[in-house]
């Protein structure tokens, strides 16, 4: 993973004045579980709803919205969350002074603005920044999450699926 990240960084620096800024990588299953539940409860509260009064249908809708971005915590060896395999990384770009570039939405935003090509029709910098990040990571063999401009994998189930490979290289780290 480190060699691939260094290769992505080297390619990016050969093409732009930018560098990679890693935000998150390995995440134990307990942390994944906490983050999914925290995000779910935060979304419910942000929309002015009370957790205790949600119907089963409303709860299922909230869960679907969260799991579009967050992998459910799973002890099943066939379906570990990508970050719990050590094969996923969340990152962004930073400028020559070290400041994170504006990518059009913050990491972990639960909206369509987080989709990698959300700004494709806009000639502004957001899409261009996302394209530089994607190209750098893809040149090193990573695959991008279809709903997260910041999430890339190498060797997990997401990577295998996006690469057309039958099985992942890595499972959950215990």
Task: Show which residues are catalytic.
Answer: 148
Are the CB atoms for 74 and 81 separated by under 8 Å?
yes
The H-assigned helical ranges of the chain are 2-15, 29-46, 56-67, 125-139, 157-163
Residue 91 burial (10 A CB sphere; 0-12, 13-18, 19+)? buried
Measured between alpha carbons, how far is 137 from 149 in angstroms, rounded to an integer? 11
């Amino acid at each position: 993973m480190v060699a691939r990240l260094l290769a992505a960084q080297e390619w990016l620096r050969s093409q732009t004045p930018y560098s990679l800024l890693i935000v998150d990588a390995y995440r134990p299953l307990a942390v994944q579980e906490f983050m999914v539940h925290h995000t779910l409860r935060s979304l419910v509260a942000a929309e002015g709803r009370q957790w205790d009064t949600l119907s089963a249908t409303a709860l299922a809708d909230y869960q679907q919205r969260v799991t579009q971005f967050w992998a459910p915590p799973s002890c099943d060896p066939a379906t570990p969350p990508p970050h719990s395999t050590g094969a996923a990384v969340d990152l962004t770009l930073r400028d020559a002074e070290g400041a994170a570039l504006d990518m059009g939405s913050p990491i972990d935003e639960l909206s369509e603005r987080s989709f990698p090509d959300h700004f494709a029709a806009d000639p502004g910098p957001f899409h261009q920044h996302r394209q530089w990040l994607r190209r750098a990571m893809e040149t090193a063999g990573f695959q991008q999450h279809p709903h997260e401009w910041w999430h890339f994998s190498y060797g997990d189930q997401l990577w295998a699926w996006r690469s057309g490979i039958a099985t992942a290289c890595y499972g959950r780290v215990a």
